[in-house]
Amino acid sequence: MPLVSVVMPVYNSAATLGAAVRSVLTQTHSDLELLVTDDKSSDDSMDLLMEFARQDERVKPVSAPEQGGAGRARNLAIERARGDYVAFLDSDDMWLPEKTERQIAFAAAGSAPLTFTSYFKMDADYEGESTDFTPNGRVVRAREHVDYRAMLVRDYIGALTAMYDRTVLGTRLMPEMRKRQDYALWLSIMREGADARGLPEPLAVYRAHQAGSLSSNKLSLVRYNWELYREHEGLSVPRSTRALAGAAWQSLRNSRI
């Protein structure tokens, strides 16, 4: 069975961390390693991680040498990856039990080095586990096929569902950016000609605000998207403007789910 390296950045996530970790450990595809980087949390996050590590050798937590944000924390985990695939999950989200198994089969069948899936949204105060999550009508649908040109207009890939084939693409780190590092990584992979394939089945659960709310955090990403288009991708002002409009529309549409 292929080994999956699961990358999880953690910062003051004690309230939701347990459910996120357990959603990985209860995957039907059990050949995985959970690579966690704690970004100098001030709560009990690291203590919880060490307890998980004592109970399950697949959990491999480290503490970042200094606080550097989610992107750097992810890279510290990616650098330790031994897996055939690298997948991503934040410490407040969850995977449904068959996510890894189904996505590996999907990636192999389509010879796709970068894949993603549909996902559910849940309220921020959800206290359950992935194993007892009841499917709801709040689904962000994965597009069947996305190429670089389409991704410039809109980020179609939910980071909690993304997985890339390390045997094909090698170890790929996220660019050193304050925000939108995940989007920049997908673009860097696809810029080289590797399209992404979307699995329509919802296989992960994203912790979000109530349907209809567009959080200030989402609005703050406008500036970082602009920097991504202009500085990382080198787009012209007109193309960056069109891409920014697409990103804004996507945030507005997804906020209504």
Q: Which residue has the tokens 């480290």?
A: 62
pLDDT, tens digit, for every residue of 147-203? 998 998 888 999 999 999 999 999 999 987 778 899 999 999 999 999 999 999 999
Name the CA radius of gyration of the chain, rounded.
17
For residues 230 and 175, what is the distance between their CA atoms, to the nearest angstrom?
14
Q: What structural domains and CATH numbers belong to the chain?
A: 4-211 (3.90.550.10), 217-256 (no CATH)
- For 90-107, write each residue's pLDDT tens digit: 999 999 999 999 999 999
- Residues 222 and 197 sit within 8 Å (Cβ to Cβ): no
pLDDT above 80 (res 209)? no
For 169, the enclosing helix (H) or strand (E) is helix 166-169
For residue 216, pLDDT over 60 is answered with: no
Q: What is the mean pLDDT of residues 206-219?
A: 58
0.85 exceeded by pTM: yes
217 pLDDT exceeds 70? no
Helix/strand/coil for 72? helix
- pLDDT score of 211 more than 90: no
Task: Give the residue with greater pLDDT, 233 vs 205.
Answer: 205
